[in-house]
Structure 1
Amino acid sequence: MSRPTIADLAKAANVGISTVDRVLNGRDPVRHQTAERVLQAAQEIGFHGVTAIRRRIENDKPIIKFGFLLKQSHRKLYQMWAEVLSKAVENFPDAHGRAVVRFMDDLEPAKAAEAIFALSREVDVIGTITSDHPQVNHAIDGLAAEGIPVFTMISDLTGAGRAGYVGNDCVKKGRTAAWFIDNVNPQPGKVGVFVGSHRYLAQELCEMGFRSHFRESAREFQMMETLGTLEEPDIAYDLTRNILASEDNWVGLYVAGGGITGVMRALREDGGPAARRLVVVAHELTNETRTGLAEGLIKAVLSHPPKLLAETLVTAMAKAVAADRSSYLSQHVLPFEIYTAANI
C-alpha cells in the first residue's frame, strides 16, 4: 500500500495542496486552526510528515506576554486568581504565553491608573480587576490608542477603551442573592448590603439587582443603607458587630464585595439569636467561605467558575492581540455557580 501523498492530505483536511505545502515548509503564514486541521488529518491517514507538521505548528505559535493586574496581594482570593490565570496561560495551546501578574495593595484610582500604565510597558495585553473611575478609564483609553488591549474581569468599566469583559451578569447575581434571603427567612425583616467600594461597577450592579428583587417582593422586607468595607475584613467585622448591637430584626446580609471573613468572625463571637437568625449570602468559593457554609454562618455563595473564567479571558486576550483593535470588543458573560452547605 502506497504512502499517503500531499494531495491525499489536502483532500483529507479539506484544504488546497498549496496550504499543505505552506504548513510543511513554512514558506508563508497559515492560520493556526488550519494548521491544526492539517495535523489532525495527517495523523488520521498516516501521513509520513506528522512530526514535521507538529514542529512547524509549534515554531509558528506567537509569543504573547499576558499581564494581569489584581487587587490586594495579601488576600487569598487574589492569590487564587493569580494561580488560576497563570495556569491558563501555561496551558493555552495557540501561543507561547508568559503570565506577568501584579497586585495593587493601594486601591486608589490614581494608583490603579499608574499600575495599569506600568504593566503595559511589560506586556502585550492586560486583564484587570479595578474600580470604575475617570482616571482609570483615561489610562485604558490611552493604551487602546497605543494598541495595547485591556480587558476587565469580574467587574467591568464604563470607559469605551476597554477591549472586553469576562465575568457574571451582576444584576442577575444580586437578584439571586435576594431570592435566597427572601425564601430562606420564615418572616421578613431588615436586610442590608456590604460593598467593598461604590466604585466597583460589579458591586454596584449586584446591589441594584438585590434591591430590585425586594422592591418587587410581596413580603415586607426593609432595606437598610448600603455600607462600604473598603475590601477590609476588619471594617466588615466592625460594621457587623455594630448592626447586631443596634438593629433589631436584622434577617439578611448580602456581602457583595470584600470582607466576608470579618463578617464571619463577628457572627462567631456574637453567637446570639440575632446572629443565628441572619441569612448571609457571599461571593466566591474559597477555603474561608467553604468554612462559613459548613458552620452555617453563610447560607449561600455565588461564585465565578475560576477555570472557565481564566480560560475564556486568556483566549479573548490572545484574539485581541491578533485582531484589528479599532473594531474589536469582546464580551463574555459567564454563568455563576451556587454553593450551599449541601454541595460544597
Structure 2
Amino acid sequence: MQRITNKALAEAAGVSVSTVDRIMTGRLPVKRATVEHVLEIAEEVSFHGVGVIRSRLRTEAPHCRIGLLLNARTRRTFLDMADRAQATAESSHDVQARVITHHLTHPEPEATVAALVDLAQRCDVIACHCIDHPQVHAAIEDLNRKGVPVLPVISGLGCPAAPGLVGSNEIELGRTAAWFMSRLGGPEGSIGLVNGGTLFRNQWAEEEGFRTFLKEKGSRLSVLPALSSGECDIGAARAVSTLLGKAGSRLHGVFVIGGGLEGAVNALRDARRPDILVVGNELTSATRAMLKAGQVHVILEHPGLEIMDGAIMAIAEWATGAGEALAKKREFPFRILLSENC
C-alpha cells in the first residue's frame, strides 16, 4: 500500500502542507480544532503519523486528577470499572488525566464522606457511585464550594451541587424485570426483592419501576417487602433464606437489585429450589456461568464500562472549559442477557 504523504493528508483535510508539517514537528502552534480535524482525516486515510498527531493533542491538553469512588473491590464489577476508567483516561487526547480510585468496604455515610474528603485533597474532580444521604449531600456541597465538583455515576444524588448523572434508565430496567417476572414466574405467588440497601437512588428507581409495572398490569403476583444484601453475596444469601422462610412454596421469583446475585443463587441451590425464577443485574464470570446453566434466568446488566467512558468524557469536557458538562444526564442502555445470548 502506498504511504500517505503529508501533502496528500493536507489535501484530504483541506489545510496547507505547512499546517500538517507544524502538527507533525510541533515547532509552531496550531489551533486545537484544526489538529482534531486533521487527526480525524488522518485516521480515515490510515496516515502513518496518526500516533504523532494524537500525542500533539495530548501534550497540549489540560492536566486533570480524577477521583473515582466505587463500591467494594471484592465485587469484580467495580474492579473492571476502575480499570476501564483508567484506560479511557490514558487514551484520551482531550485531557492529560490520572485516575485515583477509592473502593468503599461498606456503603455507609461516614465512610463515604471520609472517602470523598480524602479524594478531594488529591484530585480536581470526583466521579462517584455512592449512597444518597444527607451527610453525603453536605460533604459534596462543601467540596463544590472549595472547587472540587462531583459527578454521580450509576446512581444519582438528590443534591443540588451534583445534579448530573452518567447511568441507565433505572425505572425502565425495573419495569423490564417485572415484565420477565410476570411472564416466566407464573400467574400468582410471591416475588422477593433483594436490594443493596435503602440508600442507593438507582435501586429505589428499579424497585419503583418493578412494582408499578405489576400494579398497572393487574398482576396477581405479590411483591414482598425488599430485603437488603448490603451489596455482598453473604448478605444476599441471608436475605433469600429469609424470603424462603417467610413465603415457602409461594415464593416464585427473586429480583436481585444490585450486588449479591451469586450469593442469592447459592442460597436457592442449598434450599433445593431450582423452580424459583431469578432476575438480577450483576454480570460476572460466575453469574454468566449461572445464566448459561439456568440457575439465573435473566440478567439486566448495567453497562458499567460504557458508563466509565461517559464519565471520563464528561470530565474531559469540563476540564477543557465546558462548565455545564458535569450537570448533564448521560444515559446508556442496559443489556438484556439470557442463556442464549450471554
Pick the TM interval, shorter chain.
0.7 to 0.9
Question: Residue 301 of structure 1 aligns with which residue?
Answer: 299
Q: Is the 8 A contact 1:88 1:314 kept in 2?
A: yes
- 1:229 corresponds to 2:229: yes
Please give the per-residue CA displacement for 1:69-114, whole angstroms capped at 9, x wherever unaligned.
Answer: 1111222222222222222222223223222111111321122112
Partner of 1:214: 214
In structure 2, give the amino acid aligned to 1:214: L
Partner of 1:35 in structure 2? 35
Instruction: For 2:315 and 2:170, locate their aligned partners in 1 and report how far apart those are by CA, in whole Å.
Output: 22
**How far apart, CA to CA, are the structure 1 residues paired with 2:242 and 2:326?**
48
Q: Is the 8 A contact 1:149 1:163 kept in 2?
A: no
CA spacing shift, 1:187–1:118, aligned 2, 3 Å? same
Residues 78-87 or 11-20, more deviating: 11-20
Is residue 57–residue 93 contact of structure 2 (8 Å, CA) maintained in 1?
no
SS at match of 2:73: coil
Partner of 1:111, secondary structure, is helix
Q: Which amino acid aligns with 2:140?
A: I
| Structure 1, unpaired ranges of 5+ | none
Task: Pick one of 244, 269, 276 that aligns with 1:278.
Answer: 276
Q: Is the 8 A contact 1:26 1:56 kept in 2?
A: no
Determine helix, strand or coil for the equivalent of 1:66: strand
Q: Assess if the C-alpha contact under 8 Å between 1:19 and 1:30 holds in 2.
A: no
Give TM-score scaled by structure 2 length. Answer: 0.86
Shift of 1:65: 1.9
TM-score norm. by structure 1 comes to 0.86
Displacement of 1:35 in angstroms is: 1.4
Structure 1 window deviating more from structure 2 (208-217 vs 290-299): it is 290-299
Q: CA deviation at 1:41?
A: 5.5
Counterpart CA distance in 2 for 1:213 and 1:156 is 22
What residue is the counterpart of 2:287 in the other structure?
289
Match of 2:254, SS state, is strand
Give the drift of 1:238.
Answer: 2.0
Q: Structure 2: any 5+ residue segments left out of the alignment?
A: none
Aligned 8 A contact 1:69 1:102 in 2: yes
In structure 1, distance between residues paired with 2:331 and 2:79: 23
Note the C-alpha offset of 1:244: 1.8
Secondary structure at the residue paired with 2:235? Answer: helix
Taking a change above 3 Å as real, the CA distance of residues 44 and 187 of structure 1, as seen in their structure-2 partners, is closer
SS of corresponding position for 2:274 = helix
What letter matches 2:256 in structure 1? V
- 1:185-240 CA deviation, whole Å, 9 max, x = no partner? 23321112111111100000000000001111233111211111221322221221
Give the drift of 1:39.
4.5
Matching of residues 248-267 of structure 1 within 5 Å:
248-267=249-268
Per the alignment, do residues 53 and 111 of structure 1 end up closer, same or farther by CA in structure 2, a change over 3 Å counting?
Answer: closer
Paired residues of 1:170 and 1:206 also in contact (CA < 8 A): yes
1:335 pairs with 333, 336, 339, which one? 333
CA distance in 2, matches of 1:52, 1:297: 50
Number of residue pairs aligned between Structure 1 and Structure 2: 336
Which residue is equivalent to 1:60? 60
Flag the 1:45–1:194 CA change in 2: closer, same or farther, 3 A: closer
* Alignment-derived partner of residue 315 in structure 2: 317
Amino acid at match of 2:31: V
Indicate if the aligned counterparts of 1:280 and 1:298 stay in contact, CA closer than 8 A: yes
Counterpart amino acid of 1:291? A
Residues 289-343 of structure 1: CA distance to partner in whole angstroms, max 9, x if unpaired?
1122123221100112233222111111111222353785121111000111111
What amino acid does structure 2 have at the position aligned with 1:35?
Answer: V
Rounded Cα–Cα distance in structure 2 between residues aligned with 1:156 and 1:185: 30
How many angstroms apart in 2 are the aligned matches of 1:55 and 1:221?
Answer: 58
The one-letter code sitting in structure 1 at the alignment partner of 2:276 is L
The alignment-based identity, stated in percent, is 30
- 1:73-152 alignment runs, 5 A limit: 73-152=73-152
**Distance change in 2, residues 1:22/1:226 (3 Å):** same
Per-residue Cα deviation, 1:265-303 (whole angstroms, up to 9, x for no partner):
1111111xxx22211110021112112212322110011
Match of 1:202 in 2: 202
Give the SS at the match of 1:277. Answer: coil
Query: In structure 2, the residue corresponding to 1:244 is in which secondary structure?
Result: helix
Alignment-derived partner of residue 153 in structure 1: 153
Q: CA deviation at 1:126?
A: 1.3
Q: Which amino acid aligns with 2:129?
A: I
**Which one-letter code corresponds to 2:257 in the other structure?**
A
C-alpha distance in 2 between matches for 1:52 and 1:291: 43
Compared with structure 1, are the counterparts of its residues 233 and 41 closer, same or farther at alpha carbon in structure 2 (3 Å cutoff)?
closer
The secondary structure found in structure 1 opposite 2:165 is strand
8 A Cα contact 1:71 1:103, kept in partner: yes
